[in-house]
Every structure is written in structure tokens, then in C-alpha cells.
Amino acid sequence: MPQYPPLNSQDDDPVGKPQPRRKEAAVAAAAPFVPPNLNLPPSLASSRVERLVRERQLRRSERASASEDAIDEDDAADQPQEQPPADNISLEHQARDDNPPPSQQQQEDLPADQGGGEKQRLLVVANRLPVSATRKGDTQWSLEVSAGGLVSALLGVKQFQVIWIGWPGVYVQDDVGRQSLAQALEEKGFVGVLLDEATVDQYYNGYCNNVLWPLFHYIGLRQEDRLAATRSLQSQFNAYKRANQLFADAVIKNYQEGDFVWCHDYHLMVLPSYLKEYNSHMKVGWFLHTPFPSSEIYRTLPLRAELLQGVLAADLVGFHTYDYARHFVSACTRILGLEGTPEGVEDQGKITRVAAFPVGIDSERFTHAVETEAVKQHIQELSARFAGRKVMLGVDRLDMIKGIPQKLLAFEKFLEENPEWRDKVILVQIAVPTRTDVLEYQKLASQVHEIVGRINGRYGSLTTVPIHHLDRSMKFPELCALYAITDVLLVTSLRDGMNLVSYEFVACQNVKKGALVLSEFAGAAQSLGAGSILINPWNIIESANAIAEALNMPEEEREERHRHNFMHVTTHSAQVWAETFTRQVLLFSFLFLNSRTYSTSEMNDSILEAELRTLHIPPQLPTEKAIANYSASKNRLMILGFNSTLTAQVEAPRGRAPDQIREMKIRLHPNLKEVFNVLCTDPKTTIVILSGSERAVLDEAFGEFDMWLAAENGMFLRHTQGEWMTTMPEHLNMDWVESVQLVFEYFCERTPRSFVETRETSLVWNYKYADVEFGRVQARDMLQHLWTGPISNAAVDVVQGGKSVEVRPVGVSKGSAIDRILGEIVHSKHMLSPIDHVMCIGHFLSKDEDIYTFFEPELPFLDAAVFSSKLQDKRVSKSSSKHGSSRHAKSHPATMSPDRKRSEEEQLIEEAGRWEGSSVLDLKGENYFSCAVGASKRSLARYCLNSSDEVVTFLSSLAAATETFPKKESFKKSGWHSPTPRSPRVVTVSN
């Protein structure tokens, strides 16, 4: 019967000794956390956002002060290899031989409060203690403490006194040995749970490693093994519950009122229920360090319900990614019939909060290590050893889930298709052996060695080989040096809880800034996906192409990708992870009781639904009719959007996931440059680019053409031959910006791969590249934060896009700005002839679709007599906005020219000139073409085009129809061809 590796998130060192607890500690722990006054904007006063933002700023200030007292970890101690590591423990903690234990002074100092006061106690319960115990005599024990990810995380949690509870990894039969071991562990700050060999064999090697571990990693057993496991499953599960009860007894024995109990991993899934049975008011959290499978996989477990019920007894359940949390909620819903809520799972009025808490690393340790002399010496040696060759690196345990064979086959495919790289690249693969006594792992090792030998024999030479394969771990300085000189890191996990090797690589790459090729099945893909090349490791061709892309990546792109990843690794450290989880448990009750849906949000939803009922899916643009009308017109106005309208579509390389770094850079479609050169030289055509982008973006894309640019939804305007001017309304209130930006940054930290776009007149939170469902959940939470906090009394609009939330002042929209823009254009061009053709094309948000209705010729235009009578009234500009279609001729002077000081008579004469130019806007129904870009998009526009490529094709047809159009041969040489107009069609969708 195959065995699978025990993944213990507890292979870590202790934090400190337990200290005596005063009665005041329990009282302080029961009280809600009150952060100090951090001078936030008044708009955040007395709100949930205020508290969350204050906590975040407090954590940052604490970490900044704590960084001054960095721990010196130069002295190393060997880590035993008998205990395989957990998914969330990085290879620096998994494989190296020199894990330094904290000094005795550090252990004694940790429980003490910075101010000398007593702390609340945190009971960390894990299957294995971060210690290796060796018996030296009847009453003597040698304890070797190993540093690990969980210990490093808890070092940053200053508000708790940490006590570890777990199995020390040895079997002790005699009472004298048990007592002496317990005393030795207590001196180190540990509480030992002593298990007998039979229990460990049934609970640990049996149910945990042969049932839960393969199930959670989507690994199926062979039929005969499954039957054998089924026959012994009940006895293994009984041992599992018996072991969990022993852990519960140890917790209860050491529990004091006000303590917080944090249970870890799949070894202790029923422990929370045992603890709550003892004391229903005990604060209990549970965190899973491996993936949680989809409900369809999990429901195949025979004893599935009891494990879920055991976990649901906890107050807070944490996972690495939103996917795992969603799978857990789905399993509770489908198997237990409970109700999933945005907060978690509800069972008869009790809410168990379920959330994602991505773990991190102690990034400062790696960044500081690279600067040490020992690591620099290793870097010099390795650089000389691999001089003239690009270094690719793989660092994994020799495990089925790590995808080492897939990595080697992809590298072989790369060498096969790129012969020029065979003497220029080398792959260093570190494969740390684990469970060498298990047949399946022996077979995996033989398979890996066979592939390595074949590749080296095929592409190697007498002096060099393409693969350096090491079946051993590495010391910490050597590992950091190897990370630092690596050009490309390959992570090809087939299923991984997090995989912090990628984090360690990024932390050591602040000089070289190498590329990261990351499996989409690793939990780190959701956190580092922005700066990585994501791959499906099962697709060997795709992985080989990703290797080529990483090796040939331009330096500028590598630096930008590294910047995104480095920022995430350094801000989402292991300390932040532990601190966030513990704070969430303490504040959960307060948060839940104070989170409710306000009538404002309900009202907005009702209004939105009513507006959606008025929208329709417009038919396809009749290109032949539009081109004919365009050719026959004498004075044309063309208003075009930019993003998703005139931009080049960025296709994911080789069918992979969208590339965030490349897509975030908005670029003009290359086929439009010659088209705009033609359209802009036509004196009958006036082109306005109306976009929400910043001014610099429009300058870069359109600065070479003769056209008008309106940035930030029309709040800034310039002709490409002039300077930028503002069209913003007077007295525009922007006091809300600081408080809203704090909320956006808070949700950026909570939502991996989301980002904030800061503009002069608006703020945008974009979650386009985040997990779709998780982004929507976070967006809903953000809207509740905004409406009940920073914008509750502010004159702003919240505009929801497909995957974005934008906050802008009231009245800022493309439709409200176009009248001011049109008035300035008419005045600047001294336009007297009627504008007889208007075309408006764009991929606009619902808030900005008022621009489509602005030009609709629904009412008759004012004739000269009416205008003359109105001209006698000095309030013509104010009253004109109330007269139907006179909105086409709003003529109040734009605020872009405040320095013009004129008398009332001069202003009135200029008003008349503007009215004369814009009031002759001669639009009939057949002369106006409004067109929304996007397939099956409900819109107020008359027509639609499915994509930016169709927009480019249509604009090329208009260029071909202009009188100033050059010979068509020039376009044919450049690859352009005149498209064949298509008949109009109606786009319909099914509900």
C-alpha cells in the first residue's frame, strides 16, 4: 500500500517560553483592539474603514520599528531530514542543512511585551513540534530546534505570548522518560503531546498520509490500494480522532481564560469541535497549509461530513487562496446542506468565517543574507563556474506533486527546438529526497534519473552537461547564492498549497532581476502571477515556449515584472500573514455584528436594475450606410474612445492566462497610424479622442496626429499642437481622495493582482487580473465600505465597471464634459458651417454612456429667431441647458481660460459667436452614428462593433473614402486592405 509524505507545517523552531499570566491579560484580550490615533481624514471617522485602515497603518509602524531589531541568524544548526516538510514551508526551511534556532536570550525576550506588560497567550497546535528530540540518558534529552516558516511568521506577532503544542516526534514508553521529556520541552516553551507508535502508524502514516494528503492533492489511489484503504479506513479514522483528542487534552490542560488557540493543517481537522465542546467561548482558528480540493473530489471521502463539522466549530477557517476557501464553502453547502454566505458558512445562526490568508516568507532574512560575505563568496564561485551560460534553477522536494519529470521534459523540448541555446544554458535541479522507503517515491527517483541521463547524454559534451541534478539539500548561504545568480526559476508544481520557493527567489533577486516561470497550479500563482510567466506544467510544448520567452525577455520587462513580485513578497511577509490571521479571529465577532447592508446600497441596486431594463443590445453597425453618409457630409465630428476601442489586443502567449504586465500598457493599434494620418489631414473631419486615461498616456499614443485629446473623461483638453487646459467645473471638491485611496490600498493588499489607478480627478480600483469570483466578492465588500465610510457625505459618484470600481466627483462624465469640449473646439476652429455628421464610437462605462444620448437629434434645433431673442438675455448660457436639444450648443465659456478678462458685452458677443457655430449643428437621424464596442454589450448606443479589430477595419474604410486618401498601393504595401462592408445584423443573447 503506497504511502505519501506527511506534510507538517510544524517543522519550525519555538518562539519562547510560557510566561506567567496575570488576570489583567484576560480582560485586555477580551476587549476589542483599539489602535492609536493616526490622524486619518475626517471622512473616515467612526467607520469600519477607519478601524481597518488604522490597524494596517499600525502594523506597518510596528514592523518598521521591529525591523531595527533584526535577528542575527548567521549561526547554523543541522535540520533533521526524517520529517518531510509541509506545502507552505519553503525550501529554505525544507531542504537546507543549517536552520538556525533562536538564541536563548531571544526566546526569553519574545514573550515579554515591549512595554513590559502582560500579553495574551497564543496556543499554536500543530502535529509536529519544530524540534528534534534525542535521548541522552534516562532523564537527559537533547533538543535541536529548527527554524521554519511558521516560527518566522510568529516572530512578528508582538501582541501574543506564543506556546507550542505538538508531538515531539519520538516514542517514549517509560514514565521517567515521559516526565523528563515534558520538562525539557517546557524549558524550551513547548508542550509535548506524546503519542504511542500504534497511534502514529494509524493516525499519522495511515489516515493523514494515505487518505487525506492524496485526496487534498488530487492524487488518486490504485483500485487495489483504495479497497485496502477502505477496509482499514474506520480503524485509521478512529486513531485519527483519538490523536485529536490527545491534542485537545493537552490544550485544555494548558488553556487559560482569554487564550487564543490556533490549530494547523489537515492532521487536526476535528480538534476545533473537541475544544468548543469543552468551552464554547474559546477563541479557535484553523488554517490549512495544503490545497483544499473541489467538492466533487472531497465528497468521495467516506467519512467526509465529520471532518467538515469539526472544522466548522472554529471561529475562523483560513486557506492560502480564495480557490481553496471557495472549495471548502462549496463542500459544506453540498455535503452538509449549510448556507454559504459572503462571510463564510452559516449553521443554525452560527457563522464560521472562511477567508484566504496567503502565507509569505521572512523576506528581510533573504535580502540581508545576500549582502553577507559568506553568500557573496558563494556568488563569486558560482558566477565563475557558470560563466558564459544562462542559469535555470529548480528547487523541489522529490515528490509526485512537484512536477519534476514535466520540468525536465519541457527543458528537453526547449533544447530540441532551440539548438542555438544548447551550449548557452544550464539547468540546476535540486531534488531533496523524501520518503525514500516508499516504492512510489523510489520509482519517481528512478524516472527522474533516467530523464536526466538521457538529456545529458543527448545534448551534453565532454566538458559540460545541460542538467546538474542534485539529490540533496543545500545550506542556507549556498541556496541564497544560487537564487541570486539564477536567470530563470522554474516552478512546475502539479498541485501545491503555496510553494514559497518562488518567494525566496524573488527576495534574492533584487540585483539580477531574473524571470520566474510559475505553474498555475501553485498557490503562489495567485500572488505572483502579475510578474510571472504562468504555465500549465502538463503542456510540455507550452512550458518549453515559456522557457524560451523567459531567456529572451528584454531587460526592461524583466525589471518591471520583478518590481511587481518584489513588492508583493516584501509587503506580504510571513509575519503579516500570522498577524492578519490572529487579528481577524479577535475582531471577527465585532466585524460581523457591525457589517450590514445599508438601504443606500439596496437603493442603488434597484436604480441600476431599472436602468438595465432600459438598455438594449444594439444591432451591428451598418458600415455601408455609415461610409456613404460620411462621404456625403461636409463637416464631420468624430468622437472616439481609446481603451478597448483603438488599442491593440494583447493575446496570451500560447494560450496561457492573460499577461498582466503587457496588458496594463495601453498601446495604440499599429494599423491605425496610417489611417489617422489620412483622417486627420482631411479639413472636413474633426477627431476627438475622449478617454478616461491620463494625459501622458494620450500624449504618447496620439501626440503625432492632428486631433483633439480629452483626458480623464474630458476634464482636460488640448489640441495636439497646443497645451493642456482644464475643463473641470469650478469648485470641484476633491477632499475625499485621501480617504478613498486608503480604502483602495487596503483592498489591493487583500486582493492579489489588483491595482489602483490614481488620476487627478478620479481613483480606480481594478481587479481585472484577480480571481474572478474573489474579485467580485471584494468589490461588493469595498462598496459597502465606501458608502458607509469615506464617501457617505461626499459629492462623488461610484462607477462600477466590468472588473473595476471608480470613484469620481459628481458630474464628471464624458457626456457632461462634451458640451464644454464642443464649445471650445467650435470657438478654436471658428467653425461656422453646420456639423452635419457625428460619429461616436467607444467602449464606455455605463456612467459615461450619456455621451451617446447627448447628440441624439430628438428635438428640433433652435432657429435664428429663437436664438436672437435669447441673445437679448444675459443668462442665455444658463437657460440654454434647459431647452431640449440646445444642449448641443451649450456655450458657457470653459474654465480653461480663466485669465481672459472681458466685459459683459464682449462675453456676450463671444457667446453669440459660439452659438452661431454650434447651433447650426445640423443633425438628422441618419447623420448620427453612436456605436458601442463589445460583443453582446447592453448599451444606449444605436449600433455596436464586436471588438477593436472591427473598429480598426471600419476606420480604415472611412480613410479609404476620404478625398485626401493616398493611392491604395501604399496601403497594400503596408499590409492594409479595404474591408468588405457587412450587412447589419442584430446581436441577441439568451438569458
Report pLDDT digits (tens) over 714-730. 888 999 988 998 877 76
pLDDT of residue 217: 92
- Could you give the percent of the chain with pLDDT greater than 70? 72
Positive/negative CA dihedral, 724, 727, 731, 732: negative
Same fold, 363-572 and 735-810: no
Instruction: Please write the tens of the pLDDT for every residue from 612-623.
Output: 445 677 889 999
pLDDT of residue 651: 58
- Assess whether pLDDT exceeds 80 at residue 267: yes
* pTM, rounded to two decimals: 0.66
- Assess whether pLDDT exceeds 70 at residue 378: yes
- Assess whether pLDDT exceeds 70 at residue 247: yes
For residues 56 and 748, is the Cβ–Cβ distance under 8 A?
A: no
Q: Which among 891, 885, 883 is positioned nearest to 909, based on CA atoms?
A: 891
* 3-state SS assignment for residue 931: strand
- Assess whether pLDDT exceeds 50 at residue 460: yes
363-572 maps to CATH 3.40.50.2000: yes
Average pLDDT over residues 798-825: 84
Amino acid sitting at position 953:
T
> Could you give the angle at which helices 772-788 and 322-336 cross, rounded to 10 degrees?
100
- Assess whether pLDDT exceeds 90 at residue 506: yes
Instruction: Please write the tens of the pLDDT for every residue from 901-930.
Output: 344 444 433 443 444 334 546 677 788 899
Confidence class of residue 860 from pLDDT cuts 50, 70 and 90? very low
Q: Which among 74, 730, 8, 810 is positioned nearest to 372, based on CA atoms?
A: 74
Q: Say which CATH topology domain 619-649+666-715+815-857+924-963 has.
A: Rossmann fold (3.40.50)
pLDDT of residue 226: 57
DSSP state of 374: H
- Assess whether pLDDT exceeds 60 at residue 873: no
pLDDT of residue 869: 37
Average pLDDT over residues 491-501: 92
For 215, other C-beta atoms within 10 Å of its C-beta total 21
Mean pLDDT lowest among 107-111, 220-224, 671-675: 107-111
Average pLDDT over residues 434-438: 81
Instruction: Please write the tens of the pLDDT for every residue from 742-774.
Output: 899 888 888 888 889 888 888 999 988 888 778
Confidence class of residue 559 from pLDDT cuts 50, 70 and 90? very high
C-alpha cell read off for 582: 490572529
The highest-confidence range among 222-231, 489-498, 847-856, 968-977, by mean pLDDT, is 489-498
Q: To which H or E segment does residue 145 belong? A: strand 141-145
- Assess whether pLDDT exceeds 70 at residue 7: no
pLDDT of residue 819: 80
Share the mean pLDDT of the chain.
76
- Assess whether pLDDT exceeds 70 at residue 961: yes
**CA 779 remoteness from chain centre:** 13
Q: How far apart are CA 125 and CA 263, in angstroms?
A: 5
- Could you give the percent of the chain with pLDDT greater than 90? 35
Average pLDDT over residues 329-346: 87
C-alpha cell read off for 315: 471561529
pLDDT of residue 147: 62
pLDDT of residue 224: 55
CA distances from residue 722 to 493, 502, 647, 687, 798 in whole angstroms, order as listed: 55, 49, 24, 15, 32
C-alpha cell read off for 185: 520541552
Average pLDDT over residues 785-795: 79
* 3-state SS assignment for residue 347: strand
Domain 121-356 -> CATH class: alpha beta
pLDDT of residue 384: 94
Mean pLDDT lowest among 169-173, 240-244, 322-326: 169-173
DSSP string, 565-612: HHHHHHHS-HHHHHHHHHHHHHHHHHHHHH----HHHHHHHHHHHHHH
For residues 955 and 621, is the Cβ–Cβ distance under 8 A?
A: no
- Name the residue ranges covered by the structural domains of the chain: 121-356, 363-572, 619-649+666-715+815-857+924-963, 735-810
Confidence class of residue 586 from pLDDT cuts 50, 70 and 90? low
735-810 maps to CATH 3.90.1070.10: yes
Confidence class of residue 656 from pLDDT cuts 50, 70 and 90? low
- Assess whether pLDDT exceeds 80 at residue 152: no
Please give the residue that has the higher pLDDT: either 55 or 5: 55
pLDDT of residue 58: 61
